Amino acid sequence: MSDKVVVCGAGGFVGGKLVEFLLGKGYRDIRAVSFRPVEQWLKAFASVENIQLDLRNYNACKIAVGGATWVYNLAAKVGGIGYIQKNKTECMLSSLINTHLLQAIAWGEVAAVAGYFFASSACVYPTTSKAGELIKENDLIVPSDGYGIEKFFSERLCASFSEEHNIPIRVARYHTVYGPGDDIKGREGKDHAPSALCRKVAQAKISGQHEINIWGDGEQTRDFLYVNDCVEATYRLMSSGCNSDPVNIGSPEIVTINQMVTMLEEIAGIHLTRFYSSAAPTGVQHRGSDNTRLKSILKWEPTTTLYEGLSATYRNIYDGMLRA
């Protein structure tokens, strides 16, 4: 495990978990990169090279990828639906990160990378899916404004660099990722639905006010990808022979928001009165991942049930709130 591995976005939720996963696999020459100071990273490991760089800058990308064998690009401005709908400019400027990393690799800063991974999103898909309909990678692409457009543009740029500069590319379309660590004090609004709901349920239990506000009508359907499954799939995809074509990474379990709240009531041991905010941002009404391509390539798909993942996430948030 002597290859140099670069993880861009290592200060974030998924990036930090990926660094931890790679260390567990035996990798020792890891460069972790994030735009925030290291002391503000969600996870930081003393045994790796931790660097603060703004990867929207080309010279920063040259430093980041120097000597790399494997480059994981998970760096982006991202959050829950409430964040991405209000910060479209910031989300779209993340395209500079992917652009400059690919340029730095193609223009000779690296002798020859064995693989470049780009974390895309299910936000490249249309907002008109029906309940029970699973989205395939070759289905119609109609990206959501801002974040979705940035992801689709970056996917196409990866494909072009792969074709014209012979860079081995892996592209994954993440469906909503959650897990312990997605809920951080001061980041409310940037966490995703499972963590946001875990926080609301924990607040209800601690306060004794057994009620919850749910965005939308609660009948939105989603698949939620547990973070451990996400990094496992990311590593497996990078290690595979798959090149360029995007691959869905999502859970095979589809639930409504109301069903998820019911699970959390059971986990927390309380019953909640539900109130609904029809004017709140909800994103698409229905979305589910077709994992056929993922299973074909990796002979594997995510295995953590939503109940298992929510249990771990809720305990982490509830315990943290008690300590606060």
Q: What is the 3-state secondary structure (H, E, C) of 24-91?
A: HCCCCCEEEEECCCHHHCCCCCCCCEEEECCCCCHHHHHHHHCCCCEEEECCCCCCCHHHHCCCHHHH
> What's at 22, amino acid-wise?
L
Which one is catalytic: 83, 147, 178, 314?
Answer: 147
The answer to whether 307 is a known catalytic residue is: no
- How far apart are the C-alpha atoms of 141 and 268, rounded to whole Å? 39
Amino acid at 110: V
Q: State the Cα angle at 168 between 163 and 170, rounded to 5°.
A: 105
H helix or E strand, kind and range, residue 276:
strand 273-277
Distance of alpha carbon 281 from alpha carbon 167, whole angstroms: 38
- What gap in Å lies between CA 165 and CA 107, rounded to an integer? 9
Give the helix/strand (H/E) hosting 308.
helix 306-323
Strand pairing class (70-73; 115-121): parallel
- What's the length of the chain? 324
> How far is Cα 31 from Cα 60, in angstroms, rounded to an integer?
13
Q: Which residues are tagged catalytic?
A: 147
